[in-house]
């Protein structure tokens, strides 16, 4: 596979990840860059984790730049209920303006999603058999990852492209300066299992850039509730052979060696969520 990072990526426009799959995120958040994704399949489109209300104009501009009309979006998928995913739901509903628009999440999430003034029908992935089949036959598979980080969290596999949309899993607090969207680790990072910078924006003297390991570690330490929940979610992620891991925050992982390095690091962590608080029984 050719190196994506060397293809002069312009993150002010939609970035194509595969045929019909686009990143349409907001790249201006210094500490927590957001990554909504759009799947276009013929005259049908699906928006995954559509973004916050402040990001709505940026996300919609990029959606339109892919060449589709808003009313082609027939499904909105929300892999948990946080405002950085769901805040723009009222804006999307108004612009898409379809009576048959479906909002797809999980039953544990839906009571919270309803608080975003949702008027569309809320669907549960359990009732859909954990899959969404588009008119062309293209299938999206929904894989529950409970308590990573909410009770109703799940991830989504697009079988056609092999891209796994992992929501907060594999997310990072910040992107290294040399990597605007796609992870492409230095050789020293691939083999590093030793001491790392303690702060997410602290430069690693070995590579003279922000340490991706630190950003991923600290994000999961604070966002995921426990080591057990994270390890179970990782087992779900690696039960499928995804060719690309596209999280909701930070960088997209497209190289096997980078994915394996992150897997090794995340599976080795012991201090996730409540487990890093002194005095709490494990």
- CATH-assigned architecture of domain 15-159: 4-Layer Sandwich (3.60)
Residues of the chain with CATH 3.60.15.10: 15-159
pLDDT over 50 at 161, yes or no: yes
Mean pLDDT of the chain: 88
Task: Please report the pLDDT score of residue 197 as a whole number.
Answer: 46
Least confident of 24-28, 113-117, 199-203: 199-203
pLDDT over 90 at 96, yes or no: yes
CB-based contact 6:34 (threshold 8 Å): no
Q: What percent of the chain has pLDDT over 90?
A: 68
CB-based contact 88:52 (threshold 8 Å): yes
Task: Please report the pLDDT score of residue 214 as a whole number.
Answer: 80
Task: Please report the pLDDT score of residue 44 as a whole number.
Answer: 97
Query: What is the rounded CA–CA span in Å between residue 165 and residue 140?
Result: 10
Core vs surface per residue 164-198: b (16+ CB within 10 A) or e = bbbbbbbbbbbbbeebebbbbbbeebeebeeebbe
Question: Tokens 């980078």 label which residue?
Answer: 258
Query: What is the rounded CA–CA span in Å between residue 231 and residue 227?
Result: 6
Burial class (CB in 10 A: 0-12, 13-18, 19+), 143: middle
Task: Please report the pLDDT score of residue 28 as a whole number.
Answer: 60
Query: What is the rounded CA–CA span in Å between residue 237 and residue 214?
Result: 21
Question: What's the average model confidence in pLDDT over 62-68?
Answer: 97
CB-based contact 58:38 (threshold 8 Å): no
């Amino acid at each position: 596979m050719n190196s994506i990072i060397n293809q002069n990526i312009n993150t002010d426009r939609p970035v194509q990840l595969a045929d019909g799959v686009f990143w349409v995120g907001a790249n201006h958040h210094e500490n927590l860059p957001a990554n909504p994704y759009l799947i276009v399949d013929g005259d049908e489109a699906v928006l995954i984790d559509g973004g916050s209300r402040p990001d709505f104009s940026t996300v919609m501009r990029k959606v339109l730049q892919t060449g589709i009309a808003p009313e082609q979006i027939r499904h909105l998928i929300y892999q948990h209920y946080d405002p950085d995913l769901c805040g723009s739901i009222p804006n999307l509903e108004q612009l898409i303006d379809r009576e048959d628009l479906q909002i797809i999440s999980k039953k544990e999430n839906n009571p919270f999603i309803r608080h975003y003034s949702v008027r569309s029908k809320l669907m549960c992935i359990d009732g859909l058999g954990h899959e969404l089949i588009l008119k062309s036959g293209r299938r999206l598979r929904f894989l529950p990852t409970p308590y990573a980080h909410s009770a109703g969290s799940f991830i989504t596999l697009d079988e056609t492209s092999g891209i796994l949309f992992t929501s907060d899993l594999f997310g990072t607090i910040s992107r290294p300066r040399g990597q605007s969207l796609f992870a492409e680790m230095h050789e020293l990072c691939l083999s590093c299992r030793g001491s790392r910078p303690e702060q997410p924006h602290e430069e690693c003297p070995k590579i003279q850039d922000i340490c991706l390991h630190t950003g991923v570690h600290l994000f999961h330490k604070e966002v995921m509730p426990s080591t057990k929940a994270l390890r179970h979610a990782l087992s779900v992620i690696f039960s499928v052979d995804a060719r690309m891991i596209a999280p909701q925050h930070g960088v997209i992982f497209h190289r096997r060696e980078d994915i394996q390095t992150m897997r090794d690091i995340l599976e080795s962590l012991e201090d996730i969520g409540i487990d890093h608080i002194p005095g709490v029984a494990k």
